[in-house]
């Protein structure tokens, strides 16, 4: 992707895939969410691999075309919001590790929530090592009144170091009945799996005066283009008394100080299908054979009993 300029990316004509959603929530889970995707040119077997989570952990899906995916099974329990990386012949799967289910349920009635970023490794996408902690809580801004949350890991390489963007804190979204991440920050290390040092302050925080960021920050995915960095961030915002989420396009020269460019993908009804009517959430941008694909998850309505989250994609030729 680093051979594309910002102008090329910004002017690309993205359209929603007509067959969306490509992955629907399974019967035993209201959600299938937070896709992280490897294209055939950066996987060991020349296939597409999509990682995502349900209520029961992180799963791997496999495809020959990036559209029709087959479930290849669960990788890890107590896991959300995966980020897959293939570096020097080894797969590194970062994810948000939560406490056992009983503690998560108790958090709904006042118990403290605790989550941190963990990693598991593999050389073949089948055999994975025991997960180990990579980033934990180190700053007050990562806390909130019901515990702390370190989530949404996203790894890039910057000037010989590894930079892990992550979300932190929690903000209760009243009409949903659950929390979403408050701030976005990052940590850096010279090693992939250890030694990360987090920033003293977040790089993105909610602002009541910003239209698309007046509730909380959601998550951020950062990509290096030929002439700058871009950020794809799903801020949460209130509009007409309801909460919403949309993916924003941001621009930066250093990957730290971002400026808002435009709404990139907003909630909408797709004909008779309302699968992305109120929220467009976390995403993963891929570039393969001159096509950009933005895989993302979306939610139809806020209600935590009737709302469902599915995965689809947004595509452009460049």
Task: Give me the domain span that covers residue 147.
Answer: 6-317
Residue 61 corresponds to which tokens in the numbers above?
């899906």
pLDDT of 111 higher than 70: no
Q: Stretch 47-66: mean pLDDT, rounded?
A: 97
Residue 277 lies in a domain: yes
What kind and span of H or E run contains 148? strand 147-158
Residue 145 near residue 138, CB atoms below 8 Å? no
Q: Stretch 27-47: mean pLDDT, rounded?
A: 95
Residue 222 lies in a domain: yes
CA 57/CA 76 separation, integer angstroms:
6
Neighbours of 297 (CB within 10 A): 27
How far is CA 182 from its chain centroid? 14
Residue 140 lies in a domain: yes
Q: What letter would DSSP give residue 28?
A: T
Residue 261 corresponds to which tokens in the numbers above?
């460019």
pLDDT of amino acid 59: 98
pLDDT of amino acid 28: 85
pLDDT of amino acid 113: 80
Residue 1 lies in a domain: no
Following DSSP, what letter does each residue of 89-140 receive, concatenated? TEEEEEEEEEPPHHHHHHGGGTPPEEEEEEEEEESSSSS-PPPEEEE---SG
pLDDT of 110 higher than 70: no
Per-residue confidence at 305, pLDDT binned at 50, 70, 90?
Answer: confident
Q: Stretch 49-55: mean pLDDT, rounded?
A: 97
Q: Stretch 289-313: mean pLDDT, rounded?
A: 96
> Tell me, what CATH number does 138's domain have?
2.115.10.20
Residue 225 lies in a domain: yes
What is the tens place of the pLDDT at every residue in 216-250?
999 999 999 999 999 999 999 999 999 999 999 99
pLDDT of amino acid 232: 98
pLDDT of amino acid 107: 55
Per-residue confidence at 102, pLDDT binned at 50, 70, 90?
Answer: low
State the chain's mean pLDDT as an integer. Answer: 94
Neighbours of 143 (CB within 10 A): 16
What is the tens place of the pLDDT at every residue in 172-186?
999 998 889 999 999
pLDDT of 160 higher than 60: yes
The total number of structural domains that make up the chain = 1
| Dihedral (Cα; 129, 135, 137, 142), 10-degree rounding | -120
Residue 213 near residue 206, CB atoms below 8 Å? yes
CA 265/CA 90 separation, integer angstroms:
33
Per-residue confidence at 109, pLDDT binned at 50, 70, 90?
Answer: low
Q: Which residues contact 28 (CB under 8 A, 6 or more apart)?
A: 54, 55, 56
Could you give the 3-state DSSP secondary structure of residue 9? Answer: helix
Could you give the 3-state DSSP secondary structure of residue 141? Answer: helix
Nearest of 216, 222, 275, 278 to residue 246 by alpha carbon:
278
- Say what percent of the chain tops pLDDT 90: 90
Which residue's entry shows tokens 């992939």? 192
What own/partner pairs with CB < 8 Å and gap ≥ 24 does 16-21 have?
Answer: 16/270, 16/312, 16/313, 16/314, 16/315, 17/67, 17/312, 17/313, 17/314, 17/315, 19/67, 20/270, 20/273, 20/275, 20/276, 20/310, 20/312, 20/313, 21/275, 21/276, 21/298, 21/310, 21/311, 21/312
Q: What letter would DSSP give residue 24?
A: P
Residue 211 corresponds to which tokens in the numbers above?
């239209």
Per-residue confidence at 144, pLDDT binned at 50, 70, 90?
Answer: confident
């Amino acid at each position: 992707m680093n051979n594309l300029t910002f102008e090329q990316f910004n002017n690309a004509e993205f359209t929603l895939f007509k067959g969306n959603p490509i992955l629907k929530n399974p019967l035993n889970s209201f959600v299938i969410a937070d896709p992280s995707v490897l294209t055939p040119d950066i996987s060991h077997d020349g296939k597409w691999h999509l990682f995502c989570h349900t209520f029961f952990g992180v799963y791997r899906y496999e495809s020959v075309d990036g559209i029709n995916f087959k479930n290849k099974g669960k990788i890890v329990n107590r896991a959300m919001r995966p980020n897959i990386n293939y570096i020097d012949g080894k797969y590194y799967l970062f994810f948000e590790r939560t406490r056992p289910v009983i503690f998560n349920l108790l958090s709904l009635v006042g118990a403290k929530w605790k989550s941190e970023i963990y990693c598991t490794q593999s050389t073949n996408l089948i055999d994975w090592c025991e997960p180990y902690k990579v980033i934990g809580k180190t700053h007050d801004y990562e806390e909130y009144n019901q515990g702390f949350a370190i989530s949404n890991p996203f790894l890039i390489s910057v000037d010989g170091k590894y930079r892990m963007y992550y979300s932190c804190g929690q903000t209760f979204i009243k009409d949903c009945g659950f929390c979403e991440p408050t701030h976005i920050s990052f940590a850096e290390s010279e090693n992939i799996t250890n030694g990360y040092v987090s920033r003293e302050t977040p790089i993105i925080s909610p602002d009541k005066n910003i239209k698309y960021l007046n509730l909380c920050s959601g998550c951020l995915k950062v990509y290096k283009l030929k002439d700058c960095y871009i950020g794809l961030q799903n801020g949460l915002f209130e509009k007409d008394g309801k909460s919403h989420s949309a993916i924003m396009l941001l621009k930066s020269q250093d990957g730290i100080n971002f400026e808002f460019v435009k709404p990139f993908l907003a909630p909408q009804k797709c004909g008779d299908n309302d699968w992305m009517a109120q929220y467009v959430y976390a995403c993963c941008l891929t570039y393969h054979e001159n096509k950009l694909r933005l895989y993302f998850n979306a939610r139809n309505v806020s209600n935590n009993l009737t709302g469902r989250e599915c995965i689809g994609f947004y595509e452009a030729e460049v």
